[in-house]
Structure 1
Amino acid sequence: MTKNNFSVLITVGENNLLMFVVHCLSQVKGIKIYIIGRKEFSDIKHSNKISNYTYYPNLNDGVNWVEGIKKEIEKFNIDLIMPIDEYGIRKTIKYRDLIVPLCKVVILPSLESFDIANDKELLWKHMQEHEIPCPKTYLSSEMLNEDIISFPVLIKPIEGGGGKGIFTIKNKEAYRDYFLDNKINYSYLIQSYITGYDIDCSVLCDKGQVLAYTIQKGTLVGENDFVPKIGVEFLINEELLAIVKKLMLSLNWSGLAHIDMRFDKNDNTFKVIEINPRCWESIEASEIAGVNFPYLHALKSLNFEFDKPKYKQIKYLNLLGLSKTFKNNKWFLFNFRFILNNTPIKYFKKDPLPLLYIIYYKIKSLF
C-alpha cells in the first residue's frame, strides 16, 4: 500500500454525496473505490470510477450493518472504511471496535462530539459554554413564550442539514399563526435572523487541530436562501478561520466537517450557524480549488504525511449554477476555460453515465 495505491470502502452514502466523493477520490488513479449501499438502484453503480457497488437491504440494523461491511472487507481486501453521511458516520463510530481488527477506519470524532455537532440545540449550548460567536437561539422549552422572542427569526429542525425544513418568521402574528396551524413541534428550534451574508468553512481535523481547510462564500443562490449555494467563491479570511479553529478544538474534532457561518453586518463579526458533521455538496469545488478533502482524509487515516494544502481563490459553479448562469447570459456558453476548469464538467467528461442516468430518470418521472 502506498499514498497513491489503496482501496476504500464508502459505506451507506447518500446518492448525491456519493458522486461528489467518488469524483474527488478518482482524481488519484491508484485508488480503488468500493461502495456498500442501502439502495438497489443507485446512479453511482454506473460510474467507471468505482470497482464495485454492493446492495444490502437490511443495513439499517446495526448487526447487519457490521456483517455487511465485514463481507466486503474480506471479499475485496479493503484497506480503509470511509463513511460520508450522518447515518454511516454514526454507525461507524458506534461499531468501530468490531471493524478495526479487520480494516482501518478513517479518523472520526467521538460519539459525544458528533452528537453535539449534529444537534443544533446541543451545539448552541456548547458554543455558549466555549464562547464561540453564534446567533441567539431559543430552546424548545422557550418556544411557546412568544414575548421573549425577538423577530425576525428562523425556524430550524434540530437535526439534519442541507437547508431542509428552514423558514423565516417575520413577526409575532405570523409566529402565532404558525403554531395555531400545528405545523411545528419540539424537534425544531428558533434562531435569530442575522442581517448579512453566508460564508462557510470546510475542514479536515485531527484531535481538534485543523490539517486542511477552505473558506467559500456563496455567489449564486439555488431555489431558496437556505439550500446549499450553487455558486461559490473561495476566499482567505484569518478572522473567520480563528473562530473555526477554536470551535474544532473545543470539540476535539477528528475527521471532516463543513461549518455554516454568517457575517453579521450589525456588529461586523462572523457567527457559527451550524456544523455539517459529514461530507458536503461543495466538496468537489474544494478539490478544484486545490484541496481534495476525501483523499487527504484517507491519507491521514492511513498514517501518510502530507503538506498543508493551499487553495486557489477561484469561483465555482455546480451544474445547477451553470444552468442558471446560461439562462441569464447565453454568451457564458463560450467561456470554455471556466466551464472546463471551474465546474463539475471535468468529472462528467471522464465519467458521464451516472449523470446520464440521473437525467434519464428525471425525464421519465415527468411522463
Structure 2
Amino acid sequence: MNVLLIDDKGSPYLLDTIRCLCNDKGMNIFVVSFERKPYFNTIPYSKHVNKYIYLTAIDEKDKVNKIIEFVKEWKIDTILPIKHRGYQLFSKYREEFNGSPLPPIPNRNDFETISDKWLLAQWLEKHSFASPKSYPVAIANIKKLNLPFLLKPRWDFKDNRIKLLHDINEAMEYIENTDFVSENFIFQEHIQGDDIDISLLAKDGEIIAYTIQQGLVREAFSFATGIEFVADAQLLAQTKAIIHDLNWSGIAHLDFIHQKESNSYYLIDFNPRMWSTLIGSLYAGVNFPLLMLKTAKNEKIEYKGYIETSFYLAKPALLHFRKELIHKRKLTSLKNSSWNYIIKDPLPEIMKGFGKVISIFNRSTKKEPPPA
C-alpha cells in the first residue's frame, strides 16, 4: 500500500506514525513537507520512508494542487495528515480532494471550534459538559477567577505555552505589555485533580476505537512521557456523548482532569491530531494510523480493546531503567517503551544525536563579534 503523509513543521509525531504503519507489512511511505526545517531533519533517514519531498508551493491552493499531483504520480492509496495544519488544510479544502483516499476528516466548522480554546469552552458550556471556566483576557475578568489561574493560548502555538498566574499583578504585566496580543489568549480556571486522557478515532459521531491512559511522567502543562493504560467507563461514556453531540469525524486526543471528590471529569483540551504517545497505543494493541487507512478504504474495523499496561517514551524509559538497576527491581522499563520500535529503525535517532553534537560544536566555535 502506498501512503502519503503530510509533515507539519517537523511534527514529532510523524516518526511514530511511520513506525505504526510499518508495523504492518507491505507499506510504502511517501512524505511531503510544507516547508524546509530550521534544524537537522532526521525523518528522511528512516528505513521506512521511500521518498521525502519539500513542497515549493507558497499558498494553500498551490499546496492542495501539488498534493493531488503527487497522489496521481505515486499512485497513492491513502493520505494521512499528522498535525494541526495538515488537518486544517484537508478540512478546509476537502471538496478539492474529492476522489482522493482520505480517512475520516472533521468538517471545517467543527475543526475550527475545537481548535480554538475559547470557542471550545463556549461549546462545552452550551452543551452542559464539565469544563474549566474560561474568559477573554481582560482586566475586568481577572476578578472572576480564583488564584492561581491559567493564561492559555487559544490556538496550538509553537512558541507560546500555558502559564500559571499566581497573583493579579502577574496577570496585569501580560495585559499591559505592548507586545502581548490579548486576543490570542484566554484566562482559564485552574482545575486541580488527576490527569487522564482518551485517544480515539471516530466517524460521524461514533467512536471506532480508543485507548484511555493516565500520566505517570509529566512536566507541568505538557504531555505525558510515561503512561498507564486503564479502563474508565465513566470517562468513556462522557467522551462518547461529546463526540456524538459534535458529530466528530477523525482522530482526536482529549485531555481531562478527574476530581475524585466530586467524581467529575473536566475536559481541558481537545487535540484534533496525532499525539505524543501514539506509539504507546500501538504497544497496548491499538494501531490508530493503520485503522485510519482501513476507514479510508471502507474496510471493516474489528476493535478488540487494549491491554492495560504501562509505557514510556525513550528518555524516561532510560531513567526508569537506571532506577530499576540501582534498586534491583524487575527490569521492565525498556521493554514497555518506544525502544522496542527505535531499535528496529535506529538511524533517525542516531542522526538526531549527531545533529545535536554538530549544533553544540558550532555554538562553541562561534566567534564573538569584536567590540565596537
Report the TM-score, using the length of structure 2 for normalisation. Answer: 0.90
The match for 1:45 is 44
1:35: Cα distance to partner?
0.7
Separation in structure 1 between the aligned mates of residue 331 and residue 27 of structure 2, nearest angstrom: 30
Which residue, out of 122, 126, 129, partners 1:125? 122
Code of the aligned partner of 1:168? L
Deviation sequence 1:239-282 (CA, Å, 0-9, x none): 11111111111111111000011112452211100101111111
Say which SS state the counterpart of residue 24 (structure 2) adopts. Answer: coil
Counterparts of 1:149-298 in structure 2, within 5 Å, are 149-160=145-156, 164-182=160-178, 184=180, 185-221=182-218, 224-298=219-293
Aligned to 2:359: 365
1:20-53 deviation line (CA, Å, top 9, x unaligned): 1101111001222111113446311011112211
C-alpha RMSD of the superposition: 2.1
Please report the TM-score for the alignment, with normalisation by the length of structure 1: 0.91
Shift of residue 163 of structure 1? Answer: 10
The question of whether the paired residues in 1 share the 8 Å contact of 2:148 and 2:167 is answered with yes
Q: Work out the CA distance in 2 between the residues paired with 1:271 and 1:298.
A: 31
- The one-letter amino acid of 1:54's match is I
CA shift in 2, pair 1:153/1:242, >3 Å: same
Post-superposition shift, 1:324? 3.2
Find the counterpart in structure 2 of residue 56 from structure 1: 55
SS of residue paired to 2:343: helix
Partners of 2:246 and 2:253 lie apart in 1 by 14
Who is 1:69 aligned against?
A: 67
Q: Contact 2:321 / 2:334 at 8 angstroms: preserved in 1? A: no
Aligned equivalent of 1:3? none
Report the residue type matching 2:135 in the other structure. Y
Distance 1:151 1:334, change over 3 A: closer
SS at match of 1:244: helix
Comparing 230-239 with 24-33, greater Cα deviation is found at 24-33
Q: Which SS does the other structure have where 1:355 is aligned?
A: helix
Deviation for aligned residue 1:84? 1.3
Matched residue, 1:25: 21
Q: Which of residues 79, 97, 102 is equivalent to 1:81?
A: 79
List aligned pairs for 1:321-360, cutoff 5 A. 321-326=316-321, 328-331=323-326, 337-340=332-335, 342-360=336-354
CA apart distance, 1:293: 0.6
Partner amino acid for 1:47? S
**Structure 1 unmatched runs, 5+:** 1-5
Percentage of pairs with the same residue: 28
Q: Deviations over 1:225-245 (max 9, x none)?
A: 111111000010011111111
Question: In structure 2, what residue type is equivalent to 1:22?
Answer: I
Distance (Å, rounded) in 1 between the aligned partners of 2:327 and 2:306:
25
Q: Deviations over 1:129-155 (max 9, x none)?
A: 111111111134x55432222221111
Q: How many residues align?
A: 356
Unaligned 5+ residue runs, structure 2?
362-372
Per-residue deviation, 1:162: 8.5
Aligned residue type for 1:347: Y
Q: Counterpart in 2 of 1:145? A: 141
Q: Which digits, 9 at most, give the CA deviation of each residue in 1:315-343, with x for residues without a partner? A: 01101212332455544898555413x11
Q: Which residue in 1 is equivalent to 2:369?
A: none
Instruction: Kindly indicate whether the alpha-carbon contact (under 8 Å) linking 1:15 and 1:44 is maintained by their aligned counterparts in 2.
Output: no
Question: What code does the residue aligned with 1:360 have?
Answer: F
Partner AA of 1:362 in structure 2: K
| 1:198–1:134 CA distance, 2 compared to 1 (3 A) | same
Counterpart contact for 2:136–2:183, Cα < 8 Å: no
Change over 3 Å in CA distance of 1:163–1:64 after alignment to 2: closer
Find out whether 1:95 has 2:93 as its counterpart.
yes
Equivalent pair of 1:7/1:33 in contact (CA under 8 Å): yes
The alpha-carbon distance between structure 1 residues 265 and 151, as it changes in their structure 2 partners (threshold 3 A), is: farther
